Structure 1
Amino acid sequence: MKPVASVPSLTLCVFGITTGEFVIAGILPDIAADLTVSIPAAGLLVTAYAIGMIVGGPVLTALTARFPRKPLILVLLGITIAGNLASALAPAYGVLFAARVVTALVTSTFFANAIVIAVSAAAPGKQASTVSRLVFGMNLSMILGAPIGTYIGGGYGWRSTFLAIAACCVLGFLLVLRLVPDVRGTAAPEPPAGSSVAAELRVFRCGDVRVAIAVTAVANAGLLMVFTFFAPLVTEVAGFAGEAVAGLLLVYGLGAAAGNFVGGRLADRSPKWSQLGLLGALAAALVLMWAVGGSAAATAIMVFVLGALGFSVIPGMQARVLSAAAAAPTLAMAVNASAYQLAAALAAWLGGRVIDGGLGLRAVYLVGAAVTVAGILVSAYAWHGERGRAAVEPAGAARS
């Protein structure tokens, strides 16, 4: 079996897993109504998933660093399938919350190992494009997965959405079992015998790694706050019918795909100024969304813009982490994913406090813009510190 066949199989798995993460934004009101909880309480399901990834990402990735990769991802997929089935059958809010945590525990570790397998199957010089094909599964989950899941939830109930996600992951499991090779003996060998959790964790002694991950956590929180409450924002503020949410998620996903591509090219050319400039544009767009949020037509346009700007900054952030953590990139990427989920958890909590505090749904846009400005400041600090170290190192080399 040709190794290249493994990449579409893994892409399908990424599509299914991330659809389970993003689709909550489209079925939030349905879950709240069915389980008789408030919209902010339902929004905490995003926090539940984030908690699972925050805890599971670094811990599980480090603990399983020496496990054979194919058997490991099959086990992780099995847990994902079980978690989505439990979500579909949850009789109460607490059970659904717990099911989302368990499902998320394995997500970061699956992604980290899937990237290693995908790179091992790539032809020489094609590693980056191979990884981009894998990441495209995430884009597809926003372009197709979240809208389709929202449509299924609207027509057949939100539980059917999780059943469909579980079915997608079952198909991915079977394809991985049949098509994905074991990476031992390939370009991505199993970790050396001397590796350990402590050795993996040493990468976080590097200040650049810690700051790069902090940028991910802070800079993404503003947009994630808006995305968590996407359905009520576009229906209760902009006046769209509930049936339009799926279509608007499709618009958001198209913007995200375009932004991901453009942002990667900009980051290659000028990583510093592209990141700062795009974050500044995102903050401005969130303020503009607050100003025009009552207009359905303007909201439809701005949904695309927010998706594009929000995802345009991600490639540069990932590249910074990979560059700073060359000694343990798999664990660093898992922790970076956990940082993104930490942002999601805090965003869902803060957005709920804004709504419950009497400021109203529309104020979520302004608070999201303020958080994004904080992300700009952290990012500027990171670049300033890096420039300072770059100036010191040549001077030290000259003295030596």
Structure 2
Amino acid sequence: MPLAVYVLGLGIFTQGTSEFMLSGLLPDIAADLGVSIPDAGLLISAFALGMVIGAPLLAVATLRLPRRAALVGLQVVFVAAHAVGALAPGYGLLFATRVIGALAYAGFWAVAIATAVTLVPASAKSRAVAVVAGGLTLATIVGVPAGTVLSQYASWRAAFWAVAAATLISAICTLLALPADRGARGARSVRAELRGMARPALWLSYAITAFTFGAVIVTFSYLASLLTDVTGIRDAWVPVLLALFGAGGLLGLVVGGRTAHAAPLATLGWGLAALAVISALLAMAAHTAIVVVALVFALGVAGYVTNPALQSRVFTLAPAAPTLVGATNTAAFNVGNTLAPLLGGLSIDAGLGYASVAWVGASLAVVGLAGVLWAARLERARSFVPVIQNS
């Protein structure tokens, strides 16, 4: 695997830490800025919304730029947004920096995935995607707990400064490690990319992405509360179990990266089936600590084993749109990231308790599995047509 692919994963790690670390910073931010915790929580929604909008928007805006220049430029914007956010005297400015940072991060995701698949042969594309996406999993294992500890012992602003500094270092690495473009990217046009995306199977794949990631994130979003309020695990152990989830996710990425190229739909099917079963078991066994600990790890494995197939399959479906197709997939991930926790919140508000979010996750996984079965049927139909024509 080329060094440049790992450097792209480093960029996702540094920026992805910011995507998830706010869950541990909300009390400090709320107290410092004089807002309620629910209002502070809107900063998370602002980031997710910026990702949904920013991925396709920034992919189009940077389409005619050399990839290395686009990646470094987006990282610089991300660094500037976090520096301003760390200095923000009030909630409004911090909210704005979260949106701007998310737009830059979404653009980086889109261009990074499109770049990674061009740096390796066809047989290694899924593994390259797994390496880049692994940066986000590493962020949940290392970056998010580190940001929480830094906030507890210094301040939430120190965590923002740390993310800015780490992203600046990754931008320098990107500049040094990525090869200069040879002009192929500049020859592309928005119209050509849009034509390449006009495939129903591609949009079905985006729906599968949204449901799959939603099934994972709805349980993860409320996992800390489930562990403390339902399972009865002490607060001090919550970061450890969140890291255990991330470790399971890393294992899932490794396995999925090796199976996604040869059997993408099978990887998605088995992964979603496992995700549905594990989520249901978590809902039913939420009061039993030893079972919950094992299921948290298994949830990470099942949740992320599908990621390489979700990321790489869209490039197979629409090879004529290498930038916009990945950007829209990033937006689909964040549609799931935005809407699924809202469904979980509705379940909790209805008085069903924190364990009910796992049932929501199981239901979303079943819908995603139905989408995979539909995609498999479409694929069989396409392979059958030439046989009929040639007979």
Deviation at 1:149, TM superposition (A): 1.9
Matched, 1:191 2:186: yes
> Which digits, 9 at most, give the CA deviation of each residue in 1:342-385, with x for residues without a partner?
11010122222222333222221112211221211222222222
User: 1: distance between equivalents of 2:347 and 2:382?
Assistant: 40
Q: Which moved more, 1:24-33 or 1:221-230?
A: 24-33
Answer whether contact 1:43 1:229 (CA < 8 A) is retained.
Answer: no
Deviation at 1:293, TM superposition (A): 1.7
Could you tell me which amino acid in structure 2 is paired with residue 380 of structure 1?
A: L
User: 2: distance between equivalents of 1:23 and 1:203?
Assistant: 36
Matched, 1:343 2:336: yes
Matches within 5 A, 1:55-94: 55-94=53-92
- Distance verdict in 2 for CA 1:123–1:381, change over 3 Å: closer
Matched, 1:113 2:108: no
Could you tell me which amino acid in structure 2 is paired with residue 158 of structure 1?
A: W
Q: Which of residues 307, 322, 331 in structure 2 aligns to 1:329?
A: 322
Matched with 2:283 is: 290
- Distance verdict in 2 for CA 1:387–1:42, change over 3 Å: farther
Matched, 1:37 2:32: no
- Structure 2 unaligned runs (5+)? none
Instruction: Give percent identity, aligned residues only.
Output: 36
Q: Which moved more, 1:11-20 or 1:356-365?
A: 356-365
User: Helix, strand or coil: the match of 2:98?
Assistant: helix
Q: Which of residues 100, 103, 106 in structure 2 aligns to 1:102?
A: 100
Matched with 1:370 is: 363
Answer whether contact 1:44 1:349 (CA < 8 A) is retained.
Answer: no
Answer whether contact 1:48 1:345 (CA < 8 A) is retained.
Answer: no
Deviation at 1:123, TM superposition (A): 8.7
User: 2: distance between equivalents of 1:372 and 1:124?
Assistant: 29
Matched, 1:169 2:163: no
Matched with 2:147 is: 149
Deviation at 1:267, TM superposition (A): 3.4
User: Helix, strand or coil: the match of 1:191?
Assistant: helix
Matches within 5 A, 1:1-400: 6-28=4-26, 30-31=28-29, 36-38=35-37, 42-118=40-116, 129-184=127-182, 189-192=184-187, 195-395=188-388, 397-398=389-390
User: 2: distance between equivalents of 1:291 and 1:152?
Assistant: 35
User: Helix, strand or coil: the match of 2:111?
Assistant: helix
User: 1: distance between equivalents of 2:128 and 2:342?
Assistant: 36
User: 2: distance between equivalents of 1:351 and 1:33?
Assistant: 26
Answer whether contact 1:11 1:135 (CA < 8 A) is retained.
Answer: yes
User: 2: distance between equivalents of 1:65 and 1:6?
Assistant: 20
User: 2: distance between equivalents of 1:264 and 1:123?
Assistant: 14
Q: Which moved more, 1:243-252 or 1:202-211?
A: 243-252
- Distance verdict in 2 for CA 1:119–1:225, change over 3 Å: closer
User: 1: distance between equivalents of 2:354 and 2:233?
Assistant: 15
> Which digits, 9 at most, give the CA deviation of each residue in 1:58-112, with x for residues without a partner?
1210121111222222220111112223443444544443322211112232123
- Distance verdict in 2 for CA 1:355–1:92, change over 3 Å: farther
Q: Which moved more, 1:287-296 or 1:50-59?
A: 287-296
Deviation at 1:298, TM superposition (A): 2.5
- Distance verdict in 2 for CA 1:143–1:293, change over 3 Å: same
Q: CA RMSD in A?
A: 2.7
Deviation at 1:175, TM superposition (A): 2.7
- Structure 1 unaligned runs (5+)? none
Could you tell me which amino acid in structure 2 is paired with residue 383 of structure 1?
A: A
Answer whether contact 1:203 1:209 (CA < 8 A) is retained.
Answer: no
Deviation at 1:49, TM superposition (A): 1.8
User: Helix, strand or coil: the match of 1:148?
Assistant: helix
Answer whether contact 1:290 1:366 (CA < 8 A) is retained.
Answer: yes
Deviation at 1:210, TM superposition (A): 1.0
Could you tell me which amino acid in structure 2 is paired with residue 46 of structure 1?
A: I
User: Helix, strand or coil: the match of 2:186?
Assistant: coil
Answer whether contact 1:225 1:351 (CA < 8 A) is retained.
Answer: yes
